[in-house]
Structure 1
């Protein structure tokens, strides 16, 4: 497999990736095709596809915030089972994140990810790929080392309608297994920066941020 970065919506591989994403994730979690133009050209947003025999079989997006010393996995998509796509994306992303740390002269304390709660998802039809089922993905992320932050999490919908998406936990993969909590200010700062691209924020999100700004730290709990 090849690990190829996408930097333009004009790239035919992007069309294939967006189609795959739209077939797997709920509509409120998918940014419209044309709205990808600026984000995908941002050098700090890393969108890669896994290519096998000329076809897009998986994809991942991530970013690294050197000033906060944290990364964020926006999504990981396994489009075809039985090829080792998940492991391939995990290894390639990890190598690239190490490169970003080295180039910035920083050492990451860990990586955020939004993780579906299977019991809260109204539809279990996350595409036709069993490995993308929320229960499977959650257990894989737990196996990798992700934990969940002890807060009632909500995020603005990516369809720009300002709806509150509530079916997820905010997860964190600590670089040090001994880490048991994160500063609330770090989480708040990260979320404000991460969702700065979305102009419409639901009141539930604003209330969550306000609550974070009043706390000192948030515990990490098992998934």
Structure 2
């Protein structure tokens, strides 16, 4: 299996990757094909595909914020079961993030991720790919060590319509497993920067950011 970075929509594997994204995620979570051009050319955004026998069978997107000392896993998708794709993506991502942190001379605090609450996302079939079932995904993140940030979370939809998506939880994977809370200012600063690319922000998201900024710390809860 090959860990292949995609930096252009002209990449021969990008069309297959985008189709896989549309299979796995609901429409409001998938950026339109042409709108991927600029993000893929951004050197701080890392999009990798797992290539098996010439086919895109999985992918992960992530970024590292040296000024905040945190990473973000945008997504991890698996197109076929029983190939070890999840572990392959995890280990390669870990190595790459360690390299990025080293190059910036920083020590990471941890990594953010969004994960579906299966009780709120049951209507999504997730393409019928069993590893992408929201119950499975949530348990996998729990096994890795992610914790749920105690926050009524919403985010702006990636279809650029400005809808509030409220079926996910914001989670954090702390470097220190004993860490039980996270600075609210860090969460707010991360979210404002992360969603700066979306022009339309729902009122629910704006209110959530205000509430986060007003808090001192946010508890990290079991996922």
Q: TM class by shorter-chain length?
A: over 0.9
Match of 2:208 in 1: 208
Aligned length: 223
Q: Aligned equivalents of 1:92 and 1:135: distance in 2?
A: 24
Indicate conservation of the 8 Å contact 2:49/2:56, yes or no: yes
SS of aligned partner of 2:169:
strand
Alpha-carbon offset, residue 186 of structure 1: 0.2
Match of 2:154 in 1: 154
Q: Aligned equivalents of 1:94 and 1:79: distance in 2?
A: 20
Match of 1:196 in 2: 196
Alpha-carbon offset, residue 124 of structure 1: 3.7
Matched, 1:97 2:97: yes
Q: C-alpha deviations, 1:181-206, integer Å up to 9, x for none?
A: 11100000000000000000000000
Q: Aligned equivalents of 1:163 and 1:25: distance in 2?
A: 16
Structure-to-structure mapping, 1:31-46, within 5 angstroms? 31-46=31-46
Q: Aligned equivalents of 1:151 and 1:110: distance in 2?
A: 18
SS of aligned partner of 2:108:
coil
Matched, 1:51 2:55: no
Alpha-carbon offset, residue 106 of structure 1: 0.3
Matched, 1:15 2:15: yes
Q: C-alpha deviations, 1:104-134, integer Å up to 9, x for none?
A: 0001010000010000014140012100000
Indicate conservation of the 8 Å contact 2:5/2:47, yes or no: yes
Match of 2:184 in 1: 184
RMSD: 0.6
SS of aligned partner of 2:195:
helix
Q: Aligned equivalents of 1:50 and 1:121: distance in 2?
A: 26
Structure 1, unaligned stretches of length 5 or more? none
Match of 2:86 in 1: 86
SS of aligned partner of 2:214:
coil
Indicate conservation of the 8 Å contact 2:26/2:124, yes or no: no
Where do 4+ consecutive residues of structure 1 move more than 6 Å? none
Q: C-alpha deviations, 1:27-83, integer Å up to 9, x for none?
A: 000000000000000000000000001110000000000000000000000001111
